Amino acid sequence: MILPALLCAVGLPVGFLLIRRIPVCKPPKTHGAIRLSIIIPARNEEDNLPRLLRSISASVLQPAEILVIDDGSTDNTALVAKSLGATVATSFPLETGWTGKAWACHQGAQRAVGDTLLFLDADTFFVDRGLDRIVARWLHEHDRKLALSLLPYHAMNDVYEQLSVFFNILMAAGAGGFGFVSEPRLFGQSLLIAKETYVAAGGHAAVRGFVLENLNLAQVIRSAGGRILCVGGYGSLHMRMFPQGLSQMSNSWTKAFIHGAALSDGLVLASAIVWISALWSTLLLLVAPHDYGRLSLAVVYLLFTVQLFWIARQLGSYRLLAFLLYPVPLAYYCAVFARSAARRSLHRKTVWRGREV
């Protein structure tokens, strides 16, 4: 009985230290005027852009402009964007020392006519009145030094996407400030910020060489006197991240997560290790030949299942089976993380959208 009680006493509280609650944008009543430029860096996004651009067109609030920065696409990204009413700018050749996304965002900010900028990934999209909710939330703060970032709600259609659950949870824990052991940073998929605050911080030029530019951008915004607020995207901004299959999903998480771990707050990283260790230990003790208190361990396993369900359902359309069988996505997480760590230690690059990162 001692081991199950210890796992329960340590593992469950640590999980809630990582994520306590994920706030969302409430339906707007009214909001003031805003001159908004939406900037979308796009590299081979002909499949994703229609959904995002149509969701913007369906919004009550309409931006002053929608800028799609075509970052060396080899498909019909530019043609699709123009046909749906966006202004398309062809990116200049990638300069040395820049990542492709930071370079595209930098050019978009320079061209923007609005006094407020909304950077969006092409695989995001607004749900009913989502854009209005986001802008109203930002305006509600009455602070033009505020940088608002949403973690889009992960909309999933295929079974393999359920394997992302631990990546989503730990990404939210590391960047959102949704628990007790971290401060809010920024999510890479969205950023709403006043242009003067963006310029004062140095913009994407200040983080030009970082794969996870969002985490570093949060630091430079704070250094320039800005403030960070992160919220969940449920009911406002959703995303479909990996429609092309398991390989696309694995390469994306391989690209991102070892860099994210290196930039994580020490307390967040330590808490994540303790929590994951408790999850694994519960399973291993439950199936071990020696009886360490199987009934009690089964109860702990179910408690972890409930905890995962409560946290992850705020982040995406996860199914109950993904939590009942949580060792499967947990094993996937550990395998991809190990792959990412090995590639980094060997100084090997991951190819993403035709570029090495």
Domain 36-249 falls in which CATH fold?
Answer: Spore Coat Polysaccharide Biosynthesis Protein SpsA; Chain A (3.90.550)
Average pLDDT over residues 117-133: 95
Is pLDDT above 70 for 259? no
Q: What average pLDDT does the segment 205-211 reach?
A: 90
Can you say how many angstroms the Cα of residue 104 is from the centroid of all Cα atoms in its chain? 19
Instruction: Check pLDDT > 90 for residue 32.
Output: no
**Is 332:163 a contact under the CB 8 Å cutoff?**
yes
pLDDT confidence bin for 308, thresholds 50/70/90: very high
- pLDDT attached to residue 347: 61
Alpha-carbon gap, residue 165 to 36, rounded angstroms: 33
Closest CA to 24 of 176, 228, 156, 241: 176
Is the full-model pTM beyond 0.95?
A: no
Q: In the structure, what pLDDT confidence band is assigned to residue 314 with cuts at 50, 70 and 90?
A: very high
Q: Report the chain's mean pLDDT, rounded to a whole number.
A: 89
pLDDT-based confidence at residue 204 (cuts at 50, 70, 90): very high
Q: What is the largest CA-CA distance in the chain?
A: 68
Does residue 291 carry a pLDDT above 90? no
Q: What is the rounded distance in angstroms from the CA atom of residue 338 to the CA atom of residue 256?
A: 12
Q: What is the DSSP letter of 58?
A: T
Which residues are within 8 A (CB) of 142 and not within 5 positions of it... i.e. 6 or more apart? none
Cβ atoms 229, 148 nearer than 8 A: yes
161 close to 7: Cβ distance less than 8 angstroms: no
In residues, how long is the chain?
A: 357
Q: Where are the domains of the chain?
A: 2-19+253-345, 36-249
pLDDT at 63 over 80: yes
What local confidence, expressed as pLDDT, does residue 233 receive?
A: 96
Q: How far apart are CA 157 and CA 240, in angstroms?
A: 9
Name residue 141's amino acid.
E
304, containing H or E segment: helix 294-312
Q: How far apart are CA 210 and CA 262, in angstroms?
A: 12
Give residue 333's pLDDT.
93
Which residues lie closer than 8 Å to 340 by C-beta, 6 or more apart?
A: 253, 254, 255, 257, 258, 350
Confidence of residue 312 (pLDDT cuts 50, 70, 90): very high
Residues 127 and 124: their CA atoms lie apart, in Å, by 10
Give the residue ranges of DSSP H helices in 19-164.
49-57, 77-83, 100-111, 130-140
Q: Which helix (H) or strand (E) holds 253?
A: helix 246-263
Helix residue ranges, H only, 91-235: 100-111, 130-140, 165-176, 195-201, 213-223
Cα gap 133→128, rounded to integer Å: 9
